[in-house]
Amino acid sequence: MKIFLLALGFGLFCVSSQYTPAEITGYWHTVLLASDDPQAINEDGKLRGHLRHLECSEDCNEIILGFYIRLKKKCDKFKVVGKRVQDDVYEADYSGKNFFEIKYTSDRVTAIYNENTDKDAKENSLSEEELKKFEELTVEMNIPKENIRNVTDTDDCPPN
């Protein structure tokens, strides 16, 4: 699942591909969310995060996120540590695996892109390479590519 978050900052944040602790650390307030699964970010959605704090540590090889999830009119506080896995991409655990990246910053806002693999399900998306391989095999079996259907969005069967 893909999530895009826009937050207002109450601290200094500069555009840079390599952040310093002073540029990251500060108080933030979520303003907008977007997702390819809107249900997850609707009111009482399990990924409707209210970011409150970002902190860069260990030369920004880790980013600590402080946020709330509001379910059934109750706010639960979370602290998640994202570890840098490549360039500006961080991996963290919250409701499954998350890979996030700061996509845009200014002195007032930051936009964070996150991909989440639900802890109770396998990731629903394929890489371009995996999709291409499936398409090739489909054609080899004399099935037209236009007959391929993505069924993950309608799969509400139990996991086991």
Q: Identify the structural domains of the chain with CATH numbers, from first to last.
A: 2-118 (2.40.128.20), 126-155 (no CATH)
pLDDT at residue 145, rounded to an integer: 77
The whole-number average pLDDT for the span 114-127 is 64
Provide the mean pLDDT of the chain: 74
pLDDT at residue 65, rounded to an integer: 92
Residue-wise pLDDT for 29-74, tens only, equals: 888 788 877 788 888 888 888 888 989 888 788 999 999 888 888 8
Q: Residue 140 CA to chain centroid, in angstroms?
A: 36
Residue-wise pLDDT for 126-148, tens only, equals: 667 767 777 887 787 777 777 77
Assigned token pair, 159: 């996991």
Residue-wise pLDDT for 19-29, tens only, equals: 556 666 788 88
The answer for 142, left when phi > 0, alpha when psi is -120 to 50, beta otherwise, is left
* Nearest by Cα to 96 from 81, 79, 115: 115
pTM above 0.85, yes or no: no
pLDDT at residue 5, rounded to an integer: 58
Residue-wise pLDDT for 68-98, tens only, equals: 888 888 888 999 999 999 888 999 998 888 9
